[in-house]
Amino acid sequence: MDDDPVLRSLAADLEHDDPGLAAFLSTPHPLARTSVPHRHHPVAWALLGALPLLVLSVILPVTVTVGVVAMVLVISAPLAVCWLCAMADDPRRPRNS
């Protein structure tokens, strides 16, 4: 609890008046965000993104496949830059091993 005497007196009054509510308010919420590390699989996402291009390269002629890949790269480059700029504003979170 905070070191503020007013807050301590309010907590004591609440505990005296309604101990159940005071106990409920003092315990953390069960659905509160915990420090569970998120697992990212960049290789899996890259393979999943490359899968349609691989299927197209088998079905279509080489010139069409090269054209589709070039268009995908040209369209996705600005989006990737915007995503990287947005990620640069977020502070790095430490990874738990």
* Measured distance CA(22)–CA(16) in Å, rounded: 9
Q: Which domain holds residue 82?
A: 60-89
Q: Is residue 10 part of a domain?
A: yes
Q: What is the pLDDT of residue 15?
A: 82
Number of structural domains found in the chain: 2
Does a structural domain hold residue 80?
A: yes
| Position 38 in a domain | no
Task: Kindly state whether residue 18 falls inside one of the protein's structural domains.
Answer: yes
Cα distance between residue 49 and residue 76, in whole Å? 12
Assigned domain for 42 exists: no
Q: Which two tokens stand for residue 7?
A: 């807050």
Task: Judge whether 21 lies within some domain.
Answer: yes
Q: What per-residue confidence (pLDDT) applies to 31?
A: 57
pLDDT along the chain (97 residues), means of 10: 73 82 72 59 80 82 86 91 79 61
pLDDT value for 94: 61
pTM exceeds cut of 0.85? no
Q: Give me the pLDDT at residue 2, please.
A: 57
Kindly state whether residue 52 falls inside one of the protein's structural domains: no
